[in-house]
C-alpha cells in the first residue's frame, strides 16, 4: 500500500459522501405523533427518534433537528439519537469555550452541597458557592469554563 493510499484512509470524507456512524446530521421531521418522531436526512434515509429523548413535545412536521448516527450492530445498521447529538454539540461548546476563554450561557438546575448544578445546554456543570451569584433554580447566568474532564463528564465553571 502506498503512503498516499494509506493517508486517504484517514482523510476527511467528501461533503457529498453519505453520512456514516459518528456523524451529526441535520434532519427534517416528516411525521410526528405517538411515542416517536420520524426524521429524514438529506440522502432520503428515515430514522425513528423516540420522544423520550427530551425532544420538544410540540415538534411539528417540517421542523429540523440534529441527529447523531451510530452503528447498532456489527453489520453497520445505523440508528439516530437527538439527545446524543445535543450532548456532543454541548461538549464541543465547552471545549471551545475553555480554549478561547469565552463565556457560556448556563441555567441553574438545582442546589448541591457547597454549590449549584448548572446546565450548559446539554452538559451539567458545577458552580461553587463561593463564586456563585445564583439564587435558585431557573436563573440564567453567564459562566466561563475553569476545567473539564470529558471522560468523567465533569465540568467546573465560574461566573
Q: Please state, in angstroms and as integers, the Cα–Cα distance from residue 61 to each residue in 30, 38, 45, 64, following that order.
A: 5, 9, 16, 9
Q: Which domain holds residue 68?
A: 3-85
- CATH number assigned to the domain comprising residue 111: 2.40.50.140
The verdict on 81 and 9 lying in the same domain is: yes
Q: How far apart are CA 31 and CA 7, in angstroms?
A: 42
- Residue 91 domain-assigned (yes or no): no
Is 28 in contact with 39 (CB distance < 8 Å)? yes
- Residue 137 domain-assigned (yes or no): yes
- Residue 144 domain-assigned (yes or no): yes
The verdict on 80 and 108 lying in the same domain is: no
The verdict on 65 and 120 lying in the same domain is: no
The verdict on 73 and 121 lying in the same domain is: no
- Residue 90 domain-assigned (yes or no): no
Among 85, 114, 131, the domain-final residue is 85
Domain count, the chain: 2
Q: How far apart are CA 22 and CA 31, in angstroms?
A: 24
Q: What is the pLDDT along the chain (159 residues), one digit of tens a residue?
A: 667 766 665 666 555 667 777 788 888 888 877 777 888 888 888 888 877 765 565 677 888 888 888 776 676 667 788 888 888 889 999 999 988 888 999 999 999 998 999 999 889 999 998 876 767 888 999 999 999 998 998 999 998
Among 53, 85, 117, the domain-final residue is 85
**Per-residue model confidence as pLDDT tens digits over 31-68:** 877 777 888 888 888 888 877 765 565 677 888 888 88
The verdict on 68 and 118 lying in the same domain is: no
The verdict on 72 and 8 lying in the same domain is: yes
- Residue 114 domain-assigned (yes or no): yes
The verdict on 7 and 77 lying in the same domain is: yes
C-alpha cell at 83: 439527545
- Residue 96 domain-assigned (yes or no): no
- How many residues make up the chain in this entry? 159
Q: How far apart are CA 153 and CA 92, in angstroms?
A: 13
Is 118 in contact with 155 (CB distance < 8 Å)? no
Amino acid at each position: 500500500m502506498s503512503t498516499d493510499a494509506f493517508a486517504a484512509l484517514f482523510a476527511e470524507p467528501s461533503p457529498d459522501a453519505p453520512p456514516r456512524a459518528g456523524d451529526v446530521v441535520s434532519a427534517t421531521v416528516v411525521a410526528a405523533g405517538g411515542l416517536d418522531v420520524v426524521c429524514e436526512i438529506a440522502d432520503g434515509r428515515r430514522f425513528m427518534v423516540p420522544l423520550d429523548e427530551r425532544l420538544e413535545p410540540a415538534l411539528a412536521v417540517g421542523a429540523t433537528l440534529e441527529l447523531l448516527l451510530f452503528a447498532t450492530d456489527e453489520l453497520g445498521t445505523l440508528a439516530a439519537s437527538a439527545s446524543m447529538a445535543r450532548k456532543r454539540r454541548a461538549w464541543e461548546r465547552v471545549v471551545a469555550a475553555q480554549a478561547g476563554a469565552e463565556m457560556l450561557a448556563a441555567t441553574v438546575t438545582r442546589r448541591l452541597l457547597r454549590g449549584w448544578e448548572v446546565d450548559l445546554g446539554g452538559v451539567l456543570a458545577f458552580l461553587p458557592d463561593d463564586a456563585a451569584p445564583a439564587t435558585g433554580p431557573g436563573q440564567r447566568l453567564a459562566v466561563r469554563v475553569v476545567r473539564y474532564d470529558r471522560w468523567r463528564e465533569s465540568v467546573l465553571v465560574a461566573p
